[in-house]
């Protein structure tokens, strides 16, 4: 999956492998992942639990655990520069400035012992020095932008005084303070109530468009992908098995796994099912598999699938699938 949309790519990931060592053996959590994101584009990363989505997002900021670093290879090109080859100074210039990340649980991003306003101010300060008055104004602006009511009083609040939805908005304000070119959002709404989820997603989408910011949106929910993304990569057991536009994914999924995930929902107009459960389980991390990793669960599995790992097939310029016998 490496030849698509590489022109004017903001982020281009080439053959990324991220492994851990277990009993003298290296086990790849990500096993040869390639994709790209263009400026202003919203790309969904979808897959079941354990498929490697979070590892993917963390890799882009080199935030995977240290134990994985000796077993990381490939390239992560941001504006053509390889993040994996950057020194600490370059990384610091990138993190939270050109690339920001929002995680599932806002409390892992907010510091419980600092007031909201101070945490937003810190993010704003990191971009450049400002007078106190300018800084205070920008903090209020940043909170207004993520639609926090009465920001003048909220600046003095402690994180624990805010609801989950409000906390996640503050995280959003911090992430967006530097107007990053790329925002990585890893299941940003799973900790929120359903109605709050919808509002937060709309807000993210609006801000993404306003700032022409690229978005890497990690989720297991295809309904959310349909709302938020232009294109999608479907992950299975540490690999990307299908890449296509959101329309194509819903109308003509080529991989049997993708089809199962969207539960046969044919179009974007219909009501979208959440991730349905597929009989069987993905191979366990480190389990040796032969052939296609999905073959044990695939309704269309044939002899070849059990023996040889599929090549990537180019269905069109914008559609790739890793399958020997894709859906027609």
Ligand X SMILES: Nc1ncnc2c1ncn2[C@@H]1O[C@H](COP(=O)(O)OP(=O)(O)OP(=O)(O)O)[C@@H](O)[C@H]1O
Whichever of 67 and 316 has its CB closer to ligand X, that residue is: 67
Rounded CA-CA distance 19/70 in Å is 8
| Residue 46 CB partners (closer than 8 Å, separation 6+) | 53, 219, 220, 221, 222, 225, 232, 233, 234, 235, 261
Binding ligand X (rule: CB under 6 A), the pick from 28, 42, 55, 178 is 55
Binding ligand X (rule: CB under 6 A), the pick from 7, 8, 49, 89 is 49
Sheet strands (E) in the chain: 9-22, 25-38, 42-46, 72-78, 81-82, 99-102, 182-186, 214-219, 231-236, 239-245, 312-316, 319-322
| Residue 20 makes contact with ligand X by CB under 6 A | yes
Binding ligand X (rule: CB under 6 A), the pick from 86, 157, 196, 285 is 285
> Using CB under 6 A, which residues numbered 184 to 223 contact ligand X?
220
Query: At its nearest, how many Å lie between Mg ion and the CB of residue 30?
Result: 12
Query: At its nearest, how many Å lie between Mg ion and the CB of residue 54?
Result: 3
Contact pattern for Mg ion over residues 54 through 83, marking x by CB under 5 A: x-----------------------------
Strands 182-186 and 231-236, bridge-based pairing = unpaired
Supply 277's token pair: 């459960």
**Structural element, H or E, at residue 283:** none
Q: Is there a contact between 99 and 50 (Cβ–Cβ < 8 Å)?
A: no
Query: At its nearest, how many Å lie between ligand X and the CB of residue 50?
Result: 4
Binding ligand X (rule: CB under 6 A), the pick from 17, 38, 53, 255 is 53
Whichever of 268 and 276 has its CB closer to ligand X, that residue is: 276
| Residue 219 makes contact with Mg ion by CB under 5 A | no
């Amino acid at each position: 999956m490496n030849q698509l949309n590489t022109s004017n790519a903001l982020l281009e990931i080439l053959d990324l492998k991220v492994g851990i060592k277990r009993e003298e053996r290296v086990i790849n959590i990500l096993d040869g992942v390639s994709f790209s994101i263009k400026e202003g584009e919203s790309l969904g990363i979808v897959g079941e639990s354990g498929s490697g989505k979070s590892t993917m997002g963390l890799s882009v900021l080199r935030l995977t655990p240290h134990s994985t670093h000796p077993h990381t290879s490939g390239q992560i090109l941001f504006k053509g520069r390889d993040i994996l080859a950057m020194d600490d100074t370059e990384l610091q210039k990138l993190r939270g400035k050109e690339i920001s990340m929002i995680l599932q649980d806002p409390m892992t991003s907010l510091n419980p012992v600092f007031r909201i306003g101070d945490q937003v101010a810190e993010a704003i300060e990191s971009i450049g020095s400002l007078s106190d008055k300018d800084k205070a104004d920008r903090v209020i602006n940043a909170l207004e932008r993520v639609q926090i009511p009465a920001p003048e009083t909220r600046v003095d609040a402690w994180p624990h005084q805010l609801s989950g939805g409000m906390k996640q908005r503050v995280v959003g304000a911090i992430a967006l303070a530097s107007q990053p070119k790329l925002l990585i959002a890893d299941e940003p709404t799973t900790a929120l109530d359903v109605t709050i989820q919808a509002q937060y997603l709309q807000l993210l989408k609006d801000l993404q468009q306003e700032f022409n910011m690229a978005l890497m949106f990690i989720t297991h929910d295809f309904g959310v992908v349909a709302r938020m993304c232009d294109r999608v990569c479907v992950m299975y057991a540490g690999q990307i098995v299908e890449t296509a536009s959101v329309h194509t994914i819903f109308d003509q999924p080529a991989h049997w796994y993708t089809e199962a995930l969207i539960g046969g929902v044919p179009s974007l107009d219909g009501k979208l099912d959440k991730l349905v459960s597929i009989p069987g389980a993905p191979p366990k991390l480190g389990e040796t598999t032969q052939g296609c990793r999905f073959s044990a669960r695939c309704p269309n599995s044939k002899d070849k699938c059990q023996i040889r790992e599929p090549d990537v097939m180019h269905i069109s310029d914008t559609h790739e699938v890793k399958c020997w016998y894709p859906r027609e």
